[in-house]
Each structure stands twice: as structure tokens, then as C-alpha cells.
Structure 1
Amino acid sequence: MILKQVIIENFRQYYGQNTIEFAHGSSKNVTVIHGENGSGKTALLTALIWGFYGRELKLPNPESIFNNKAVQENTNNKNDLITAVQIKFEHNDYEYELRRMLYAKFDSEHNMLNLPKNKTINQKVELTKRNVATNQSTKIRDISYEINRILPYKLHTFFFFDGERMDHLGKKEAYSEIRDSIKRMMGLELFDNSIEHLSKTIIKLRDEVSKNVKSELSDKYLRINQLEDEKIKKKQQLTETRQELSAAQSELKSIENALRNGEETRTFQVTRDHLVESIKETKNAFDEKLNELRILLSRSSHLAFSTLPMKRFQRIASTNDQDSIEKLIHPDLIPFLMSKGKCLCGQELETTSIASLEKVQQEVLNLSSSKNEMDQLYFRLSGWEVARSHFYTEIRRLVSEREELRENLRGLEDELREIEERMKASSRNIENSSNLIERESSIRTAIVKAEAAIESLLRSIEEISKEEELLNKEVSKLTKAEERQLKLQLALESATKVKNTLIGLLKLRESQVKTELEEKIKLTYSQLLRKDYPISLTDNYELLVSDVNGGSIGLSQGESQITSLAFIGAIVDLTREYKDKEKGHALDEDLKLGNIFPLVMDSPFGALDADHRSRVAINLPKLSDQIVVIVSTSQWRGEVDEAINHRIGKSYKLLNHTNEGTGEYTEIMEVM
């Protein structure tokens, strides 16, 4: 990313619009901004950070973001006020224009500006990017995502920093921050995130695969086989029982024919046959009445519970105004009577009666929709009352007819037993006839048992078939689940292999990054620091500075500042090398490791002696394609100016003005 321009408008000390064009490139890549204490050096650095991220200002009175002079002028002029930071920058063949604003509305009623709090919800942000090759512009919707993709907020303190920040990076408490930053900038975080995501996916896949579908499926198949064996046995029993029933029925017919042909039993048997047929017909009629009763109950049983709602409705209806029009007057009744000229009683309608009827008819027509609905409900409930009465009448009739058939059946069965006893008595001395009668009785008993057994077997077979059907559906689902489990097992194996591969690649990449970064840090450190301290990078990316004997040493503030600068410079230089290597390769932007980062520094020479200031000034332009230095006159003059002057591409001065009426404000002036 390369900064092109920043326009600061009514931001903190900066009154009106102030513009800075930034230098970049290989030769004159330094932009220097001179400013004395209190002129707004830190506010300038903060303006860049606020423009990119819109976060809370890390300054005294962080809520005071509007310029005081502008606030006073716009209040006097009763105008609205805007504070804004506009940044133009380049990144990967695109030009970006970012504008972040806060609006203050003038309140005429209270004669004041309503200054909003510096919250992202109050800010208006616009971001467009233009393809340099095609000149096509696009308005970015997810601005936060786009900015953090280019320069993540977590990394901004490594590229927009002051002397105090640089000193902090050389201390042990910053090591974890250093480690995370290196991983993000060197593309190692992509490996970490991928491994973490795969680990979560693997846990979910294991949970799914661990479900014992095979065991459940095996149990279902075992039960289906048991049911099939049971069903075969039942069907075999059914066949045998039907054969026994058929044989018994055939034998019964033979016996009945023999008894009809017997001289002693003929008369009894004919009477007996008639009784058996009558009993059969009576039983059928008895069963038919039961069926009619079931149908009636299934269709109209709700009428048995209609008494309570009808009584409640009648009670509600009875509370209506007694002077209101009668509920049951149909809108067509009065016109019908008037067309006939006669009352319902048959008398001729008089003029006064007609006038009264017309008035009543108008009231009928003016009835509210709710009353019409009540009338309709009343008519419907009246029909329910009739239906309920008919329902109970039908129940009583069917029950009565069924009881009558039951009594007839008992009488017929009694007659049948009496005839059978008389047959036995008359045939007692005739051995053949007596045996036939006894045999017939036992066969009839066997037939009844066989019919009951057949009915029971049919029910059992039907229940088995239903259970089989349900089990087969469950088996179908489990089979699909088993197929899914096999696919999940393959996915689990693949995810595990990919994870292990990524872990291996991460180790290789970390080793490579550590080696390359350590070499860069050593080189940069040796150029910046006067003392020849050995420096190394641990596996946890901790910077270790030791003496010639390998013992740890305590660094001064200036040495800590140079250590931090060496670390930052090494990272920026290394990512720049990666970018050069990636040229000509078609890579997705998210996979690119190379990048160009600007270094924007406030007071980088403050804690350094003359020799170290000279060393830093000589080597600073080599660390990045773009260096922005915000510095006071005392820090700049002498060895710094002499060492870096030939690399300056742009130079500016912060002019601080004091006005008794409007207070202090700063403007930015370019120095030629």
C-alpha cells in the first residue's frame, strides 16, 4: 500500500482544508513534515489512523474532534459543520479514495451546533477503488472489510507509530503482539486459521461417524427376519385352520343331510334348519344396527356437546336491547308483505301500518354487520338444536331395535336348543341317529373355534405386516444414513490428511520465515546500532539481544527504539521482497504474501544520540518504498538533515496560529 494524498478538514488543530501529497519510489521516497511541540504532529498521525479505521482518538480529550475555530465561526454564522479526513492510496494495481466524515447540525432553537460523539454510527464513510489498467471505478460496500484486508487494524501500530511506540516494541511484554503480527504479515495466520477451521470440522465429522448406525441397522434386520418367520408360521397355521374348517363344514353338511333323510329326525331337522337360518339372519340384522349406530356417532356425536354453547349464546342474545328490532326478521319478509298488501294474519294493511313497516324495514337494512352475523349464528344454532334432537331420537331408535333383535335372537336360540333336545330324546334308542346328533354338536363347536382362530390369525398377520412396513421404512432411512456415514468417513479421512499436510507446511513456512526474518533483522540491526550486539529470533518470535558472551543485556531507551525499528524495517523489507518475487504470478489477493507498507513515524529520533540519529537517517529510506517523518526542528537539523536530505521528495511545515478571539489552529504549508 502506498499513500498518495491526505486532506484534513477541521480536524482537531487543523482549520479548514489542509492537503499533503506523499512522496514514494526508490530514490526520493521520504516525506518530511516539520512541526514544533503543540503544533499538531501527533494529531496529524492520529488523523491518518482515524481516516482509515474511525476508532477513538488516542489523544487528550478524545471526544473533541471538531476544530474550535471552525465550531465558533459556524456557530456565529448559524451553519452546519463538517470534519473529515480524505485519503488517497494505491494497492495492487488499484487506486483507492477513502473519505470519513462527521456532521454537526446547527440547532436554531438553541443557537448552537450539536456536535456528535466520535462513534462509528455517527460517521459517514465512502470508499471507491479504480482499476488503473481499465480505469473502471467501483464503490465499496463493506468498507471495514476492504480496509482491514489491505492494512489490518491490528497491524496499524507497526506502520503509524511514534518514538514511544517504537520503544515499546523492543520490550518483552510486546513479544506476543510481535508474534501475531509476524504471522499475519507473513501469511502464517492463513495456515493457523485453516488448521483451526479443519480441527472444528474434524470434531463434528467424528461425532457424526461415531453414531453406531450399523448396529441399529443390524437390529432392524434381525427383527424383520423374526417377523418374517413368525408371519410364515401364522400363514401356515391359517392354511391348516382353513382346511380344518372346510372339512368340518363339509362333514356338517353330510350330517345335516343324513338327519334330514332319517325317518326319526327328518321333521326335527327341517325345523332346526329354519331356526339356524333365522338365527343367522337375526345376527346379521343385529350387527347391521350396531354398524348404523357407529356411523351415526362418528358423524353427529358433536351435537351431544352443543347444549352448553347454545345456552351461552341464548343468554348473550337475550341481553340485547329489548327495543331493538327482532332478530329473526328476514330482510325480504316486509317487502313481501307490502307487495301482497296483507299482514301475516290475513288482514289488509292500512296506511299507518305500511308506514310502520317501512320504518321497520329500514331498521332491518341498517343492522350492523356484527348483528347480521349474530342472526346467522342464531339460525345456525337453531338448526343444531333440531339436529341434536333428531340425533338422540335416532340413537334411541337404533338401541331399541337392537335390543328387540337381541331378544328375538335369544328366543330363536332357546327354540333351537329345545329342538335339539327333542331330537336327541327321540333318537336315543337309535344308535346311528344319536351318534350323528352328538357328532354334529361337536363339529359345530369346532367350526366356531376354527372361525375364531382364523380371525385371530388374520389380525396377527396384519399387525406383523404393519410392523414390517414400518421397519422397512426405518431400514431405508438407516441405509441412507449408513451411506452418508461412509461419505462422512471419507470426508473425515480427507480433512485429517489436509490438516496434517497444513501443519507440515506451516512448520516449513515458519522455519523459512524465521530464518529469512532473522537474517533481515541482523542486517538492519547492524546498520542501525553502533554496538555489535548479537540479535536472534526464537521459535516464539522473541527478539533476544545478548552480549558477546551470550548473556542477556539491558537496553537503553534509544537501543530499544532501534531494536523495534530494526524489527519493523526487517518485516517491511521482507514483504517487499515477497512482492517482487510474486510479480508475474496469477495469485488470488488473499494468497499473496508480498506487500508494500508505508512507514509513518512521529519523532523517530527523539531518544537517540547524534551517531544513532545519523545511522537511522541514512538507513531509514532503505526500509520501505515510502517513509513519512513527522519531526521537530531540533530533531531534524544537523546530522539527520545531512544524511536524509537527498532522499526527500516532499516537505511540509506545520504553522501554528494564535488568535485571541478563536484560539489556536494549525495549517499545513508545503516547503519548496
Structure 2
Amino acid sequence: MILKRLVLENFRQYYGVNSIHFAYGAEKNVTVIHGENGSGKTALLTALIWGFYGRELKLPNPDFIFNNKAVNKCSDNHTDLKAEVQIQFEHNGYSYELQRRLEAKYDYDQKSLTFPKNKVSNQKVELTKTNLNNKQTTKVRDISYEINRILPYKLHTFFFFDGERMDHLGKKEAYSEIRDSIKRMMGLELFDNSIDHLNKTIVKLRDEVSKNVEGELSQKYSRVNELEKAKSAKKEKLYELEAEVSAAKKELSSVEDALRDGAETRKYQINREKLLESISSTKQAFDKKMKELGFLLSRSGSLAFSSLAIKRFERIAQKDRSEEIEKLIHPDLIPSLLSREECICGHRIDEEAQRYLTATQQEVMELSETKNEVDQLLFQLSGWDVSRDNFYREIRRHLMERESMREKIRVYEEELREIEEHMKSNARNIEDSKQLIERESSIQKAIIETEAKIEHLKEALSEFKKEEEQLQKELGKLSKAEERQHKFQIALASANKIKETLTGLLKLRESQVRTELEEKIKTTYAKLLRKDYTISLTDHYELLVTDSQGKHVGLSQGESQITSLAFIGAIVDLTREYQVKEKGHALDEELKLGNIYPLVMDSPFGALDADHRSRVATNLPLLSEQVVVIVSTSQWRGEVESATQQRIGSAYRLVNHINDTSGERTEILEVY
């Protein structure tokens, strides 16, 4: 979107008709508007926001929309009054003209103007669009939809922003705003919306399937829908908790740095950090030892109950052998006698004796085999006694080591409490240090509690996943009773497959966008900030700033503003690249994911020193096709004017007439 022209009529300080033509393009793309404090700079920014969205004004006296001088004049002349904002802009091959106005009618009975009570519902809005190729003009019916399609209301603070809130992007509460904004601007919301739509379709299809079947199948589909809702809620909660932990750890790091730097707490804090590290490592070793103990019990725990069974088997084996021992002879004896046909006593063996000996030989072989098996089993069981003794020794060793670690943790924690008491005692007369110590303890407790909640949520999600997988297997096995049900199941399977594909594409695309955006932010940040800080964008869309040692740093107001500007400038530059060419993804050109966005800034230099003013003023015009700078005259003179001189396409000065007897008014004068 490119802003072309803004026309104000009797809006706030602006009496009569005032207009601004905005510069844009590759070279002369900067519009400068400067004036003294109170001349209507913020009202000018607000006029753009009100013109596009018609929301309540975020200004002092938000109901005061009509210009005072115009009110007085119309009251004197007994005429009606209107306050109007007109915006001309271009977007994706169309030229738009937007008009939004409020009207006050003169009441001849009351002899005064009657102002609309509801400043939102009484607005009159018109929007026309003209195709730049064929010049065909149409009147837009759903104006709100069209405006939000071009520049969603939730994104307007990124492009129409004032210096007083530019530092908000580095704060915890802005993470979700940043995430949603990136998704919208980078085309990722298209995938999100498609997946959401598919989820709704899948739920409807499951309901339809449930209506056409009885009993078990219907119940299982209902349960799958319940799981989907529960998973979605827990995933959102998990994301929020992970962001809370990350923010808390950042704050904890800052508090620890402050304690380490404090003269009263430095010596204690260093020892305290060593103790905390020792406690953490010992607890990790303790957890590892518990896992080893659990593994040992699951692998060899049965040995503890084997003693009685082995003794009973030995008694049975001894009894069986004692009853049969007299029958056991060497298995080779009888075959030898039969081959010689002569007994060991010297008598000849007749046919009847041979038959008896052959039957006896078979019995001997069976008894011999049984004896060998019993002996072998007894030999194996005898090894269980050794294994059981080793098992008990290992258990005792693990338990002793566990208790030793538990005792270490107890001692460390006692020492830690003593140090913390010393810190509080030494800092008793220094309120800041005392508050830091108490705050640190509070943050640590909150982190522990939140991490426990995170683990609980992850376990619940894991259980949901197992149950869902099992349900899907069971559903696949159930027969399809009717043709209608069969068709719905085919549609349901297709919808699930498409959802899986889109989810995979979203992950791939989001990873690509986050990587490219982070590189763009780093490059922009290095140009805007004088210090050698590094900025990164986490998986949760946090903007993290670290020093050369990799430590988190606390930013001044000016540095926070620069951080926000780097983010906004980088994302505007990246969307512009997507708009002019395909950016590494086959879908970019077809889906038209890129876009052109303006940067309209009110007082962006107030908290910056001279060097940073020059850096920002020099580099921001390189990131967008259109930059509008609204500044006080004092901020404009000097570094900003010098840095942007070659880029200025148009310039205006706001002149405030406060001595006008008929009411205050501001005039917009073109100076370039």
C-alpha cells in the first residue's frame, strides 16, 4: 500500500481544508512534516488511523473531533458542520479514495449545533476503487473488509506509530502480537486460516459420520473431536507458559547481574551462584541415579523373589533322583552285552533275555536324558544365587549414593539460605538490593512452578497423542456400514491428509520466514545501533539482545526504540522483497505473499542521541518505498535534516494559530 494524499477538513486542530501529498518511490521517498509541540503532529497521525478504521481517537478528549473555530463559525452562521478525512492510496494495481466524516446539524430551536452522540456508528464512509489498467471505477460495499484485507487493523500500529510506544516490541506482552503480525505480513496466516477451516470441516465430517452409524464408531469419533479441542487448548497454554518461562529467565538474568554488580551483594552473589550451580548439577545427578535404580529394578527385580522357587525345585529334583537312582546304569552296558550275547556272569543270553534287555535299555536312555536336563537346570539356577547377591549389592550401592547426593543437596541448600540471609542483612539499609534479592527469589519460585506446569501439559499432550493414535487404528478397523458413511469417511480421510500437508508446509514456511527475518533484523540492527550488540528472534518470536559475551542486556528507552524500529524496518523490507520477486518458495508468486507497506512515524527521534538520530534517519528510508516522518522542529533541525536531505520528496510545516479569537487552528504549509 502506498499513501498518495491526505485531506483534512475541520478535523481537530485543522480548520477548513488542509492537504498533504506523500512522496514515494525508490529515491525521493521521504515526506517530512514538522511543527512545534501542540501544533497537531499526533492528531495528524491519528487522522490517518481514524480515516482508515473509524475507531475512537487515542488522544486527549477523544470525543472532540470537530475543529473549535469551525464550530464557532457554523454556530454563528446557523449552518451545518462536517469533520472529514480523505485518504487516497494505491494497492496491488488499484487506486482507492476513502472518505470518512461526521456531521453536526444546526438546531434552529436550540440555536446551536447538535453533535452526534455516538462518534462511531454515526460516521459516513465511502470507498471507491479504480483499476489502474482499464480505469474502471467501482464502489466498495464492504468497506471494513476491504480496508482490513489491505492493512488489517491489528497491524496498523506497526506502520502508523508514535515514539512513545515504539519500545513495546521488546516486552513480554508483545510476543504474541509480533508472532501474529509476522504471520499476517508474511502470508503465513493463509496457512493458519486454511488449517483452521479444515479443522472445522473435519469436525463437521466426523459429526456426519457419527449420525450414520451406531454405537462404538460414533462414540470413537466423538472422543476424537474431544481430544482435538483439548489438545488445541493445552498447546496454546503450553506456548504461553514457555513464553513466561523465557521472559522470567531473562528477568532473572538481569537481577543476578544487578546483584553481582552491587557492592553490598557482590561477594555473596558469586558464592551463591556457585552453590546454585552445585545444587543444579547434584540434582541432575540425583535424577540420573534414580533412573539407573529404576532400570536395575525393572531388569533384575525378579531375582529378589527367586530364592524360594529355587529351593523348592532342588528338593523336588533330589526326591526324584533318590527314587530312581538304583535303576540308573551306564547307557553303554546293555548294548555291549547284546552284541556279545553273553552276560557279565558268563552265561549265554537267550532270545527272551535279549527282549527284556532291549526294553530296559530304552528305559535307561529316558532316565539318563531326564537326569541330564535336571542337572543342567540345577546348574543354571545355582548361578541365580550369585546374580541375586550381586543385585542386592548394586541396590545397596545405588541407595547409598542416592542418600549421599540427597545429603549434599541439603547441605548446599542450608549454605544457600545462610548466604541469602547475609545478603538480606547486609542490604537491609539499601532498599534496592533488598528488593532485588526478594525479586530474585520470587522469579525462581515462579520459574519452578511454571516449568512443572509445562511438564504436566507435555505429559497430557503425549497421552492425548497416544489415545488419538489408538482411536485412529480402531476406527480404521471398523466396517463402513452404509454408502453415505463410506463417502463421508473418504472425505474425512482426504481432509485429514490435506491438513497434514498444510501443517507441514506451514512449519517449513514459518521456519524459512523466521530465518530470513532474523538475518534481516540483525543487518538492520547493526546499522541503527552504535553498540556492538547482537539481536536474535527466538522460536517464540522474542526479540533478544545480547552483548559481545552473549549476556542479556537491559536496554535504555532509546535502545528499545531502535530495537523496535529494526524489527519493523526489517519486516517491511522483507515483504517488499517478496513482492518484487519470488523469494525461495514456489508458492510466493502464485499467492502474492509480498506487499509494500509505508512507515509513518510520529516523534521517532525524541529518546535518541545525535548519532543514533543520524543512523535511523539515514537507514530507514532504505527499507521502505515510503517513509513519513512527523517531528518537532527541534528534532528535525540538525542530524535528521542532514541525513534525509537527499531522500526528501515533499516537506510540510505545521503552523499553529493560537491567538485567533474565533478558536485555535493549525495550518499545513508546503515548504518543499
Distance 1:655-1:28 versus aligned 2 partners, 3 A rule: same
1:499 equivalent in structure 2 = 499
Distance 1:9-1:118 versus aligned 2 partners, 3 A rule: farther
Take 1:215 and 1:528, find their aligned partners in 2: how far apart are those partners? 66
Contact 2:9 2:85 in 1 (8 A): yes
Query: Secondary structure of the residue that 1:663 maps to in structure 2?
Result: coil
1:641 equivalent in structure 2 = 641
Which residue type is aligned with residue 568 of structure 1? I
- Cα distance, 1:210 vs. partner? 3.8
Contact 1:63 1:117 in 2 (8 A): no
1:213 equivalent in structure 2 = 213
Take 2:555 and 2:543, find their aligned partners in 1: how far apart are those partners? 12
Gaps of 5+ in 1: 217-478
- Cα distance, 1:213 vs. partner? 3.3
2:651 equivalent in structure 1 = 651
- 1:143 matched to 2:153: no
Please show how residues 169-248 of structure 1 align to structure 2 within 5 Å: 169-211=169-211, 213=213
2:519 equivalent in structure 1 = 519
- Cα distance, 1:215 vs. partner? 8.2
Which residue type is aligned with residue 79 of structure 2? N
Gaps of 5+ in 2: 217-478
- Cα distance, 1:121 vs. partner? 1.8
Distance 1:31-1:569 versus aligned 2 partners, 3 A rule: same
2:547 equivalent in structure 1 = 547
1:395-445 CA-partner distances (Å, limit 9, x unpaired): xxxxxxxxxxxxxxxxxxxxxxxxxxxxxxxxxxxxxxxxxxxxxxxxxxx
2:27 equivalent in structure 1 = 27
Please show how residues 200-349 of structure 1 align to structure 2 within 5 Å: 200-211=200-211, 213=213
Which residue type is aligned with residue 48 of structure 2? L
Contact 2:82 2:101 in 1 (8 A): yes
Query: Secondary structure of the residue that 1:492 maps to in structure 2?
Result: helix
Contact 2:613 2:640 in 1 (8 A): yes
2:358 equivalent in structure 1 = none
Contact 1:5 1:87 in 2 (8 A): yes
Distance 1:589-1:126 versus aligned 2 partners, 3 A rule: farther
- Cα distance, 1:207 vs. partner? 3.0
Distance 1:590-1:115 versus aligned 2 partners, 3 A rule: farther
2:108 equivalent in structure 1 = 108
2:560 equivalent in structure 1 = 560
Take 1:496 and 1:551, find their aligned partners in 2: how far apart are those partners? 44
Contact 1:171 1:560 in 2 (8 A): no
1:80 equivalent in structure 2 = 80
Contact 2:480 2:486 in 1 (8 A): no
Distance 1:645-1:5 versus aligned 2 partners, 3 A rule: same
Take 2:57 and 2:119, find their aligned partners in 1: how far apart are those partners? 11
Distance 1:215-1:111 versus aligned 2 partners, 3 A rule: closer
Please show how residues 513-662 of structure 1 align to structure 2 within 5 Å: 513-582=513-582, 591-659=591-659, 661-662=661-662
2:486 equivalent in structure 1 = 486
TM-score by length of 2: 0.59
Distance 1:107-1:191 versus aligned 2 partners, 3 A rule: same
- Cα distance, 1:660 vs. partner? 5.1
Take 1:544 and 1:5, find their aligned partners in 2: how far apart are those partners? 38
Which residue type is aligned with residue 46 of structure 1? T
Take 2:214 and 2:171, find their aligned partners in 1: how far apart are those partners? 59
2:119 equivalent in structure 1 = 119
2:276 equivalent in structure 1 = none
Please show how residues 128-139 of structure 1 align to structure 2 within 5 Å: 128-139=128-139
Take 2:178 and 2:212, find their aligned partners in 1: how far apart are those partners? 47
The count of aligned residue pairs is: 410
Query: Secondary structure of the residue that 1:659 maps to in structure 2?
Result: coil
Distance 1:506-1:588 versus aligned 2 partners, 3 A rule: closer
Contact 1:167 1:564 in 2 (8 A): yes
Which residue type is aligned with residue 96 of structure 2? Y
- Cα distance, 1:64 vs. partner? 0.5
Query: Secondary structure of the residue that 2:565 maps to in structure 1?
Result: helix
Which residue type is aligned with residue 26 of structure 2? S
- Cα distance, 1:108 vs. partner? 0.3
Take 1:616 and 1:148, find their aligned partners in 2: how far apart are those partners? 29
Larger Rg belongs to: 1
Distance 1:605-1:525 versus aligned 2 partners, 3 A rule: same
- Cα distance, 1:525 vs. partner? 0.2
Contact 1:652 1:671 in 2 (8 A): yes
Which residue type is aligned with residue 192 of structure 2? D
Distance 1:7-1:145 versus aligned 2 partners, 3 A rule: same
Contact 2:212 2:485 in 1 (8 A): no
Take 1:492 and 1:35, find their aligned partners in 2: how far apart are those partners? 62
Query: Secondary structure of the residue that 1:213 maps to in structure 2?
Result: coil
- Cα distance, 1:607 vs. partner? 0.3
Alignment root-mean-square deviation, CA: 2.3
Which residue type is aligned with residue 123 of structure 1? Q
- Cα distance, 1:532 vs. partner? 1.5
Identity of aligned residues (%): 77
TM-score by length of 1: 0.59
